[in-house]
Amino acid sequence: MRGAKRRFQGRPDPKPPPGPPVELVIESVGGEGDGVAAGPVFVPFTLPGERVRAQGSGERRELLEVLQPSAERVVPPCPHFYACGGCALQHWDHAAYLRWKVQRLAGTLARQHIETEILPAYAAAPGTRRRLALHARKGSRDVARLGYKARRSWDLVDIAVCPIADPRLEAALPALKRLAAPLFEHPKSAPTLHVTLTDTGLDIDITGVEAKSGGLSADARMQVAELAAEADVARVTLGGEVAYMARAPQVRLGPARVSLPPGAFLQATPGAEAAMASFVAEAAAGAHRIADLYCGVGTFTFRLAEIAPVYAADFTAEAVAALIAGLASAPGLKGVTAEARDLVRRPVLADELKKTDVAVFDPPRAGAAEQTAELARSKVARVIGVSCNPATFARDARTLIDAGFRLERVLPVDQFLWSPHVELVGVFGR
What does pLDDT average to over the chain?
A: 94
Q: pLDDT at residue 15 above 90?
A: no
Residue whose C-alpha is closest to residue 164's, from 203, 122, 125: 125
Give φ, ψ of 207 to 5 degrees. -120, 170
**Cα distance between residue 311 and residue 337, in whole Å:** 5
pLDDT of the residue at 58: 87
**Cα distance between residue 350 and residue 373, in whole Å:** 9
**Cα distance between residue 235 and residue 251, in whole Å:** 14
**Cα distance between residue 91 and residue 47, in whole Å:** 9
- Strands ordered across the beta sheet of 241-245: 156-158, 145-149, 131-137, 192-198, 201-207, 235-238, 241-245
Give φ, ψ of 203 to 5 degrees. -115, 120
Q: How many percent of the chain have pLDDT more than 90? A: 90
Q: Which CATH class is domain 22-73?
A: mainly beta
Q: For residue range 63-87, list pLDDT tens digits in order.
A: 999 999 999 999 999 999 999 999 9
Looking at 2.40.50.1070, 1.10.10.10, 3.20.20.60, 2.30.42.10, the CATH number of the domain 131-250 comes to 2.40.50.1070
Element (H, E) at 300: none
The DSSP bridge pattern shows strands 60-68 and 35-37 to be unpaired
**Cα distance between residue 235 and residue 244, in whole Å:** 5
**Cα distance between residue 212 and residue 75, in whole Å:** 46
Q: What is the DSSP letter of 353?
A: G
Q: For residue range 129-186, list pLDDT tens digits in order.
A: 999 999 999 999 999 999 999 987 889 999 999 999 999 999 999 999 999 999 999 9
**Cα distance between residue 125 and residue 96, in whole Å:** 15
pLDDT of the residue at 248: 97
Q: For residue range 226-249, list pLDDT tens digits in order.
A: 999 999 999 999 988 999 999 999
Give φ, ψ of 407 to 5 degrees. -75, 105
Domain map (residue ranges) of the chain: 22-73, 98-125+267-429, 131-250
Q: For residue range 31-70, list pLDDT tens digits in order.
A: 999 999 999 999 999 999 999 999 998 899 999 999 999 9
- Is the CB of residue 236 less than 8 Å from the CB of residue 228? yes
Q: Which residues are catalytic?
A: 388
In this structure, CATH architecture of domain 98-125+267-429: 3-Layer(aba) Sandwich (3.40)
Fold agreement (22-73, 131-250) = yes
pLDDT of the residue at 210: 82
The predicted model gives 394-411 an average pLDDT of 98
**Cα distance between residue 212 and residue 214, in whole Å:** 5
- Computed from CA positions of residues 201, 207, 212, 216, in that sequence, does the dihedral angle turn out positive or negative? negative
- Is the CB of residue 70 less than 8 Å from the CB of residue 52? no
Q: For residue range 294-328, list pLDDT tens digits in order.
A: 999 999 999 999 999 999 999 999 999 999 999 99
Residue whose C-alpha is closest to residue 84's, from 20, 29, 165, 174: 165
**Alpha carbon distances (Å) from 125 to 94, 147, 186:** 10, 21, 39
Residue whose C-alpha is closest to residue 48's, from 79, 22, 24: 24
Distance from the Cα of residue 30 to its chain's centroid: 20
